[in-house]
Amino acid sequence: MTDPTAQGEGTTQDDAEVIALAGRLFDAARTGDAPLLAAYLDAGTPANLTNDRGDTLLMLAAYHGHAAAVTVLLERGADADRANDRGQTPLAGAVFKGATEVVDALLAHGADPHAGAPSALDAARMFGKDDLIARLTRP
């Protein structure tokens, strides 16, 4: 019996290419490369693609303070409240980093300040970010 993942069968090379592409996309989210993300999402890449820690592209873009990339992802179907494996949401990550433009973009697309553990609102309170508490509690 042959191993279908053995080199020469195509699967290992295909897997390596998929992993390399995913790595480029996660790097694009971290660096805020909104045009690259838009192109791949428009070509069919899942908007809620996650890494091995449950971080979505949106989580990485939000945590690293890239409002344009966050908006691109949200406009293409990324789940604003999807938590990673630690229960953290993109909004809580943006609050932790003090990324006001990202917070505003997430809220404009329906992110829930009470989602996750700790929630974005809890994080704002923990770190004394009164300006963000005001944003998160606006009606």
55-102: per-residue pLDDT in tens?
999 999 999 999 999 999 999 999 999 999 999 999 999 999 999 999
Record the pTM.
Answer: 0.87
CA distances (Å), origin 70, targets 15, 29, 32, 76, 124: 27, 8, 8, 10, 20
Residue with tokens 């406009």: 75
How high is the pLDDT of residue 8? 47
Q: Which of the four CATH numbers 1.25.40.20, 1.10.490.10, 1.10.3720.10, 3.40.228.10 does domain 11-136 have?
A: 1.25.40.20
Question: Nearest Cα to 47, choosing from 82, 74, 20, 65?
Answer: 74
How high is the pLDDT of residue 2? 40
CA torsion sign for 105, 55, 60, 22 is: negative
How crowded is residue 89: how many other Cβ atoms within 10 Å of its Cβ?
30
How high is the pLDDT of residue 118? 94
Position 1 confidence tier, pLDDT thresholds 50, 70, 90: very low
How high is the pLDDT of residue 4? 41
Residue 139 clears pLDDT 90, i.e. is over it? no
91-115 mean pLDDT: 96
Residue 11 clears pLDDT 70, i.e. is over it? no
